[in-house]
Amino acid sequence: MDIQLRNITKSFGRKKVIEGLSMDISSGSFTTLLGPSGCGKTTLLRMIAGLETPDIGEIFLGGRCVFSADKKLNIPPEKRGLGFVFQDFALWPHMRVRDNVAFALKACRMTENLDKKVKEALHAVQLDDYADRYPSELSGGQQQRVSFARAIIMEPECILFDEPLSALDAMLREEMRGELKALVSERGITSVFVTHDQSEAMSMSDRIAVLNHGEIEQYDTPENIYRKPATSFSARFIGSSNWIDSASMFRPENASFTRQSSSDLEYKATVYESEFLGSSYRVLMHHGSERWIAQSDRRMEPGTSVPVYIDKNSIIVIGK
């Protein structure tokens, strides 16, 4: 299912949350809406789902117009053919796992081969042996797997994810990223994923829409957003950025404390901290009024003045 958003605008009272936003999401792709709290990403997701109503614009799902302000058309959520996975799992505490997974099918009176479909959905999320447990008897990761199973059992063409991993601890989040991406990719399900975690976005996405104050700063592949940021906001929000001036920056991995080639430019910086990372040290420095980060194989003492070498070809000029 492909998705088209055309000139979407949404306000709550006097506050404009989304303004004139348009984007296309390809069928079968994994697209992330990424940005800081309050940038409008969850509101945008809820408008795709039909849980919020835009003030202006149109929304198309699989070529079908499901919302048009001009035509006064607004297809309700249950008729849009979408799956939805929430941040808080949203499981019925009094129902066993099998009943939570089967709930949507029962509500739609789609009970043919119900037991088989429940077993297949639980197998897909590695919960074959947990069908008769209650949510309170599961870990956080297992509860989130139940919510995934509940979404895929409806066989939707698209699933919307509203920060589904944010309630999990760091190690489990990392494990679940790969499982979730594989789960939807194997089924060719279009996925729209909301997060403020850039690591999640970079590791899982085919494309990322970087949002800021209700507008798209950049919509591109993770690689292009990191290597060719279109705006200062994209450069600062994705990864670490070392700024030479207001328009020029470089990534920490492109800095060295020894000259590597004749094309290297030399700058002076003052160390204020070294952080041990196991395989290397993360060196924090001041360069004028800017703070720089680089990697080193040795600890550097605070207050030490050091040369920093940067290949001129790795310097990114924003807007160029």
> Which three-class secondary structure state does DSSP give residue 285?
strand
Residue carrying the six token digits 């004139």:
20
**CATH H superfamily, domain 240-317:** Nucleic acid-binding proteins (2.40.50.140)
Query: The tokens of 235 are what?
Result: 């450069």
How far is the C-alpha of 202 from the C-alpha of 207, rounded, in Å?
9
Q: How confident is the model at residue 320 (pLDDT cuts 50, 70, 90)?
A: low
Q: What is the pLDDT of residues 214-257, one digit of tens each?
A: 999 999 999 999 999 999 999 999 989 999 999 999 999 999 99
Q: Starting from the edge strand earliest in sequence, which strands make up the sheet with 242-243, in order?
A: 242-243, 248-250, 316-317
Exposure letters 53-92 (e unless 16+ CB within 10 A, then b): ebeebbbbbeeeebbbbeeeeebeeeebbbbbbbbebebe
The reported pLDDT for the residue numbered 169 is 80
Q: Give the pLDDT of residue 141.
A: 84
pTM to 2 decimal places: 0.88
* Res 139: pLDDT: 87
Strand partners, 69: none
Work out the average pLDDT over 26-36: 96
Indicate the domain borders of the chain: 3-227, 240-317
Question: What is the per-residue pLDDT across 42-82, written as a single tens digit (0 to 9) for each?
Answer: 999 999 999 999 999 999 999 999 999 999 999 999 899 99
* Contact indicator for 84, 151 with CB cutoff of 8 Å: yes
Mean pLDDT confidence for 136-153: 89
**Strand ranges (DSSP E) for 131-253?**
158-162, 190-195, 207-212, 215-220, 242-243, 248-250
Q: Is the dihedral of CA 127, 130, 133, 137 positive or negative?
A: negative
Domain 3-227, what architecture? 3-Layer(aba) Sandwich (3.40)
